[in-house]
Structure 1
Amino acid sequence: MVRLYTDQLNIGYGERLIVKNLSVEIPDNQITTIIGANGCGKSTLLKAATRIISHQSGSIVLDGEHIAKEHTKILARKMAILPQAPESASGLTVGELVSYGRFPYQTGFGRLSKKDYEVIDWALEVTGTIDFKLRPVDALSGGQRQRVWIAMALAQETEIIFLDEPTTYLDLAHQLEVLELLQKLNREQERTIVMVLHDLNQAARFADYIIALKNGEIVKAGTCEEVINHDVLKKVFHIDAEIGRDPRTNKPMCVTYNLLKGDNQNEQTTNSVPALHLISS
């Protein structure tokens, strides 16, 4: 049985629907990536799935229960989210920030137990940030800070982790560092990872399952082979893409593309645009 799925989900702000009649299953113990143009509803879907925002109709079901009815602390023990722009951690040390991940397990006066400290150190070790434990978060580089935020999510000890554009503002090396860490968590600890990515080749390289959205609706959901292809990318991004093979993973990759003009998508620009943010290890 799939643990997490949506059924005829509608999400909006006021009278404007952003996500429309969306039904999708999130594969357990896999990496799922959500792709689509700006404003298509990727972040909105993540926020609703983690109950940061409410949905207007339909349902989001986790372990057979509607998340809208789940107690906050119980839900926080099942899923964690790293938003696109985490709140400022100004004045906090790395250890203090990661300790916030233990909130769902605290009782009484909220004092940390021996178990809490053990989990905090474990999360720091796994993310390679244990040496930063006493350093101010503000003193870290962008890549280091992102790993610390992931450590905080890990400290929640959830089996499902949502990340909204975890590689934003990072250089190529740090992007790869973060994505390889998430892949390691998935493979070694069987964490279910759900993340929004803009880079198509990163999505193809690291995802087991991809959901392509356009205007709040699913164009295609499936394996990398099923989603990263000419027809789907044309519908989702309005581009004419040349698809090749990543020589290191043998997964599909966008080698180059033309922008399409007009509503009929028949005209093409004369110059091809090289694929951006290609990464290798």
Structure 2
Amino acid sequence: MLSALARAEAEAIAALPPGPLCSATLWEVEFQTGLAYATRKGPGDAERAAARFALAWAVDAERRPLSGLYGPDVGLAFVQAVDAAARRPARPVQVEVSPRDARVAVDCRPLVVEAGLRPGLHAVRVDAPGHEASARVVEGETIAAALPEAPGGLGPWWVAGALVPTSASARAAVQRFAGTREVVWVEAADGQFVARRVVDGQPRRVARADSAAGAVRQALAEAGPGPRKADEPRRRTGLWAGLAGAAVGSLALGLGLGLGLREPPEARLQLVVR
């Protein structure tokens, strides 16, 4: 039972982004884990049960076990664990992650370093574009993770529209994905759109225009047709990622040369590989 719950815990932290679904799922897993320890009643199991009940409370502070289903004894043990955890003051949190722009989520919420963390167990997920995520339960106020590079692709960050030109990890991930192809980044700045053409990871040209497509056309026009291997396979892949509101400054707009670009509808950006 406990081994199955441990696997479910690891999968939930790794797969679910911060939000209500993560909180609801992880609360149930941690509560059932605490219940399993409380039922086993071995040496130290009472403390382990209390720690898991406290973690369930950390991911969803409003939820309580159903007394009609689990009985008053379980409800009392849960409340006692929550009361003990709530009395512990938050301590400063130390974050040591690589890459430095990795995203850190604790207990199904984005980490707020200034708020600190209470002593005890915490569900921590660390991820970054182009890297494998780290997802585990830790004890204490230090969050440390060195993320290895992912084998390839842009991963869920691309799907979520979260690749921003200011992120070194995002730039590196897109460059690895592009290989020797050229990359054009587009971002909004001062009422215009700025297209930055990058070749082999090095900036080559910056163009400005009143539209995203216009800026990209200028950057590509400056590049010229460019050489192309005769045996290089031609492939064209379209990927769409929606952005909140009208902000357009977040994704790689084009890979390669000679793209037939048009103004994307509803502030959506397209990645095209040729």
TM-score under structure 1 length normalisation: 0.29
Structure 1 or 2, whichever has the larger Rg, is 2
TM-score under structure 2 length normalisation: 0.30
Greater RCO, 1 or 2 (C-alpha within 8 Å, sep 6+): 1
